[in-house]
Amino acid sequence: MRALYACRGAVLGVFAVLLLAFPPGAPALASGIFLLFAGICLRVEARSVIGIHSRGSHLEAPELLTGGIYARIRHPLYASNILIALGLVLLHLGFVWESLLFGVAVIAWFSALACNEDRFLRKTFNGAWEEWRKHTPAFFPKFRKSIAETPLKRRRIRAFAEDRATWFWLLIYLFLIIIRRKAM
């Protein structure tokens, strides 16, 4: 499972290359843009709470975050990656069966990463993780009246800026999609 976590960054590159192999389908711009925007917002929110310790090739957690967005969803970064990837699929392919194939692959990949992270957190934080897991779903947010407030470790704008490699590759993918659409 370490190899799975260590190569997680390369998945987007492989995903983009495979996606370019399929011709664009019918436009699904509104859905794709909505998913992309929702994924970006969720990612920025999670990164502003989590800090920068999640970068790198090793799974580590100096503390168990249970407040802020992490009071509503256990894996907001993986959920944001799923939303962004599904948005890109819809922008490129539209509503065709290949979209379903890519969608299932994306969800399976990030679900496997989340399960790996859950095992790590259970081992590291034991009882505290079990209690948090009981009240916090993995991917679908739980909306309740009050959530534990956690001070942001970084301002959202800084969290956005520090994720610049993600935004760079996202812009490259969008550029390639636009070029491909113009060529068709």
pLDDT 10s digits, 135-158: 888 888 766 645 555 556 667 777
Above 60 in pLDDT, residue 174?
A: yes
- pLDDT for the residue numbered 28: 66
- Please check the confidence at residue 8 and state whether its pLDDT lies above 70: no
In angstroms, how far is CA 124 from the centroid of its own chain?
Answer: 23
Query: Does the pLDDT value for residue 12 go beyond 70?
Result: no
* Domains of the chain, CATH where assigned: 2-183 (1.20.120)
Q: How confident is the model at residue 26 (pLDDT cuts 50, 70, 90)?
A: very low
Q: How far apart are alpha carbons 83 and 66 in whole angstroms?
A: 22
Here the tokens at position 152 are 């942001």
Q: Which residues contact 23 (CB under 8 A, 6 or more apart)?
A: 184
Pairwise CA distance, residues 166 & 88, whole Å: 14
Angle, alpha carbons 105-2-152 (nearest 5°): 80
Rounded to two decimals, the pTM is: 0.66
Q: Is residue 53 predicted with pLDDT exceeding 60?
A: no
> Residue 152: what pLDDT?
61
List Cα–Cα distances, 43 to 27, 38, 47, 96, in angstroms.
25, 9, 6, 27
Q: Looking at residue 23, what is its pLDDT?
A: 54
Which pLDDT band, with edges at 50, 70 and 90, does 166 fall under? confident
